[in-house]
Amino acid sequence: MAKRKIAVIGDPGSVMIFNAIGLDVFYETEAEKIEARIHKLADGGYAVIYITENMAQLVPQVIDYYTTATFPAIIPIPSSTGSLGIGMKKLRENVEKAVGADILFKEG
């Protein structure tokens, strides 16, 4: 069985630290380059692609394209400037779609 790889995409200040734990890091900050990188990583057998939320905002169509694919899972993460709430919103939508109700953030 082939070993699946994990990548991280974002600005250097936000994702450089992921090198220390052995993930493949790609410094991309322009929409066209981010989109091309995601397609290349998907074709290259990456199982998970973490992308900073501010970079994910630049390429919503390509992220949506892979939403129904088995691989790669594209997961928005906060950047060094903080969270935009995109990752939590996606998590909420996916749980609601799978379960049929908002069980994570339901009040009361």
* DSSP-derived secondary structure letter, 34: H
* For helices 31-43 and 60-67, angle between their N-to-C axes, nearest 10 degrees: 20
Structure confidence at residue 70 (pLDDT)? 83
66 three-class SS: helix
Asked if the model's pLDDT at residue 21 lies above 60, the reply is: yes
* DSSP-derived secondary structure letter, 2: P
With bands split at pLDDT 50, 70 and 90, how would you rate the model's confidence at 29? very high
